[in-house]
């Protein structure tokens, strides 16, 4: 098996299979998140209020997954082929994204608890870092065609994700506010972005 991995990492291949696999994983991530949503146990407004934090956290996570999906496509529109290292960098990103449903459910059930909200932030931070690593790898394999993987917006985001973790451990709602602000930051119109 190691011979196959070594051989595959030393040559380039079409990007289509990687994109199709990534799209499938992202679709499954969204499906898992929506299946984790709990309906109210009653029919009154107070019953709905009890599940609202979970629904709001789901909406935020859906936006984040959407941002990554859009930026993933924008990133791969700039390359024709990928190498084995890019495949592993992409799997690294998908690994962290696959944890979004877990932390979404936990933070949604415990929106005022420091640890669940902080862990949500850790996963967002690691998704961001892994996206930058993927963009860097694609930039290297394409001969350095300026994919902006180290852009100012990316660096600001990394700093704010890290700050959100610390703030969430101190007072969970502050971490949540930064998560919302960062999602809005990436949704602002402008030139195509490459990171979420």
Per-residue pLDDT tens over the stretch 160-182: 999 999 999 999 999 999 999 99
Predicted TM-score of the model (pTM): 0.86
Q: Which of 6-10, 50-54, 91-95 has the lowest mean pLDDT?
A: 6-10
Chain centre to alpha carbon of residue 141: 23
Inter-residue contact 76 to 196 (CB < 8 Å): no
Token pair in block for residue 135: 């963009």
Among 155, 148, 93, 151, which residue's Cα sits nearest to residue 123?
93
Chain centre to alpha carbon of residue 115: 19
Report the chain's mean pLDDT, rounded to a whole number.
87
Q: Say how many CA atoms lie within 13 Å of 61 toward its Cβ.
A: 33
Residue 3 has pLDDT above 90, yes or no: no
**pLDDT digits 0-9 by tens, 93-111:** 999 999 999 999 999 999 9
**Band of the pLDDT at 87, cuts 50, 70, 90?**
very high
Q: How far apart are CA 43 and CA 48, in angstroms?
A: 7
Residue 126 has pLDDT above 60, yes or no: yes
**Band of the pLDDT at 81, cuts 50, 70, 90?**
confident
Distances in Å between the Cα of 73 and the Cα atoms of 20, 32, 77 are: 11, 22, 6
Confidence at residue 119, expressed as pLDDT on a 0 to 100 scale? 98
Q: What residue ranges do the domains of the chain occupy?
A: 12-187
Confidence at residue 162, expressed as pLDDT on a 0 to 100 scale? 96
Tell me the sheet residues that pair with 12.
83
Confidence at residue 29, expressed as pLDDT on a 0 to 100 scale? 97
Q: Say how many CA atoms lie within 13 Å of 3 toward its Cβ.
A: 0
């Amino acid at each position: 098996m190691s011979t196959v991995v070594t051989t595959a990492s030393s040559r380039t291949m079409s990007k289509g299979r990687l994109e199709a696999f990534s799209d499938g994983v992202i679709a499954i991530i969204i499906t898992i998140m929506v299946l984790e949503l709990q309906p109210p146990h009653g029919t009154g407004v107070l019953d709905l209020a009890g599940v609202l934090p979970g629904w709001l956290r789901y909406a935020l996570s859906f936006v984040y997954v959407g941002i990554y999906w859009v930026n993933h496509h924008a990133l791969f529109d700039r390359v024709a082929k990928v190498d084995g290292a890019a495949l592993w960098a992409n799997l690294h990103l998908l690994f962290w994204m696959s944890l979004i449903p877990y932390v979404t459910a936990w933070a949604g059930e415990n929106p005022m608890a420091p640890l669940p909200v902080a862990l949500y932030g850790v996963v967002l931070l690691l998704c961001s870092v892994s996206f930058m690593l993927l963009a860097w790898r694609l930039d290297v394999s394409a001969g350095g065609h300026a994919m902006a993987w180290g852009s100012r917006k990316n660096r600001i985001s990394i700093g704010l994700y890290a700050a959100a973790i610390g703030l969430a451990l101190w007072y969970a709602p502050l971490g949540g506010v930064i998560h919302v602000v960062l999602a809005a930051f990436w949704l602002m119109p402008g030139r195509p972005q490459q990171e979420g």
